[in-house]
Amino acid sequence: MPPRRVIGIDAGGTKLLGGVVDQELVVHHRVRRQWRGADRQETLDIFVDAVEEVRAAAPDVDAVGFGLPALVEAETGVSTWSNHLPIDGVPFRDLLSERLGLPVVVDNDANAAVLAEHRHGAARGADHAVLVALGTGIGGGLILGGRLYRGARGFGGELGHMVVDHDGEDCPGDCPGRGCLEVLASGTAIGRAGEAAAAEEPDSTLGRRLAGGGEITGGLVTELAHDGDEQSREVLAGVGERLGAGLTGLVNTLDPEVVVVGGGAGAAGELLLAPARAVVAKRALPPIAELVRIVPTHFGVESGMLGAALIALEEA
């Protein structure tokens, strides 16, 4: 019997990454989509279209796993609430299974990512691990006692909506919170901090880009920082320190062996992680600060896709 192959789909706030994945976590075909500004029906159509594209190249797949940036009810597969996609209240598992004619499993995107990193990546061998995914927003996944922790209804691990600053800025999207970690340390937050720095120094590289009508994004700031732009490096260092404040609360609360940091903004690497580690070393409780490891993902931006495929392999 040939090895099973499934489709894993990782959906973020502005983009989608999917692929055909076998039992050895080898990816055979990939698909990418973007959906900024898409309404609910368009968003669901993009999901279906992406699956059908890779399915055409691999008609032997027998299930699809979706990782969504949403609160997913574990028992029903309903996407109850999302801060970034218009899929609130969508019976996602059953609806997509009907449209695709395949078994579908669905979970939170960061839950999927931490599963991949725990089984085969940067958190392998750890019984207690935290994953923080930095992208349009911030997702979180928890391994506690060697098992994926989903909470009472499947809504657990929303680390991006942990309040770090009681009097901070409003969280973006539909989150009712203020001062959430998401507004302080996400990829979007890097772009906003870069824009503020550009406005303060109009003669800088970022300043000239802003004056010329260019968009200041987290990706641009990261690219310039890697190229040696000092202002962009300072922006990443400031965001990294805010990330470190959030991680301090997490490690003090959960005492994990390892914190894995990924997502698209994870491309900043040590320019973001080194300042975060410094804050944790200074502010976390001494025994925890000395023992916890803060590391990048092993699978990079593909952690969520591979984790979604793993869930499909195991649960479909």
pLDDT tens for each residue of the chain, 316 residues long: 567 899 999 998 889 999 999 999 999 999 999 887 789 999 999 999 999 999 999 999 999 999 999 999 989 999 999 998 999 999 999 999 999 999 999 999 999 999 999 999 999 999 999 999 999 899 999 999 999 999 998 899 999 999 998 888 999 888 899 999 999 999 999 999 999 999 999 999 999 999 988 899 999 999 999 999 999 999 999 999 999 999 999 999 999 999 999 998 888 899 999 999 999 999 999 999 999 999 999 999 999 999 999 999 999 7
Q: Are residues 135 and 90 in the same domain?
A: no
Structure confidence at residue 1 (pLDDT) = 58
Specify if 91 maps to a domain: yes
SS (H, E, C) the chain: CCCCEEEEEEECCCEEEEEEEECCCCEEEEEEEECCCCCHHHHHHHHHHHHHHHHHHCCCCCCEEEEECCEEECCCCEEEECCCCCCCCECHHHHHHHHHCCCEEEEEHHHHHHHHHHHHCCCCCCCCEEEEEECCCEEEEEEECCEEECCCCCCCCCHHHCECCCCCCECCCCCCCECEHHHHHCHHHHHHHHHHHHHHCCCCHHHHHHHCCCCCCHHHHHHHHHCCCHHHHHHHHHHHHHHHHHHHHHHHHHCCCEEEEECHHHHHCHHHHHHHHHHHHHHCCHHHHHHCEEEECCCHHHHHHHHHHHHHHHHC
Tell whether 165 and 214 lie within a shared domain. yes
Sole residue written with tokens 């959030």: 246
Distance of CA 64 to the CA centre of its chain: 19
Q: Which residue has the tokens 């691999």?
A: 58
Tokens of 277: 């580690």
Residue 69, pLDDT score: 94
Q: Which two tokens stand for residue 127?
A: 């019984």
Q: How far apart are CA 288 and CA 162, in angstroms?
A: 20
250/154 same-domain check: yes
CA atoms within 13 A on the CB side of 140: 25
Structural domain for 47, as ranges: 5-113+302-315
Q: Are residues 172 and 66 in the same domain?
A: no
- Same domain for 28 and 158, yes or no, is no
Whether residue 210 sits in one domain with residue 292? yes
Contacts for 127 with CB less than 8 Å, ≥ 6 apart: 143, 145, 146, 257
- In this structure, the answer to whether residues 35 and 173 fall within a common structural domain is no
Question: Domain total for the chain?
Answer: 2
Of residues 176, 175, 179, the one with CA closest to residue 163:
179
What burial class does residue 59 get, using C-beta atoms within 10 Å of its C-beta: 0-12 exposed, 13-18 middle, 19+ buried? Answer: exposed
Does some domain include residue 226? yes
HSE toward the beta carbon, residue 39, CA cutoff 13 A: 1
Which amino acid does the sequence have at 94? D
Token pair belonging to 105: 């499993």
Domain contains 119 = no
Same domain, 22 and 151: no
Question: Pairing mode, if any, of strands 129-134 and 138-144?
Answer: antiparallel
Q: Examine the domain organization and report whether 24 and 161 are in the same domain.
A: no
> Residue 96 in contact with residue 104, Cβ under 8 Å?
yes
Most distant CA pair in the chain, distance: 64
- Indicate which CATH number applies to the domain containing 104: 3.30.420.40
Q: Is residue 120 part of a domain?
A: no
φ/ψ of residue 2, rounded to 5: -65, 155
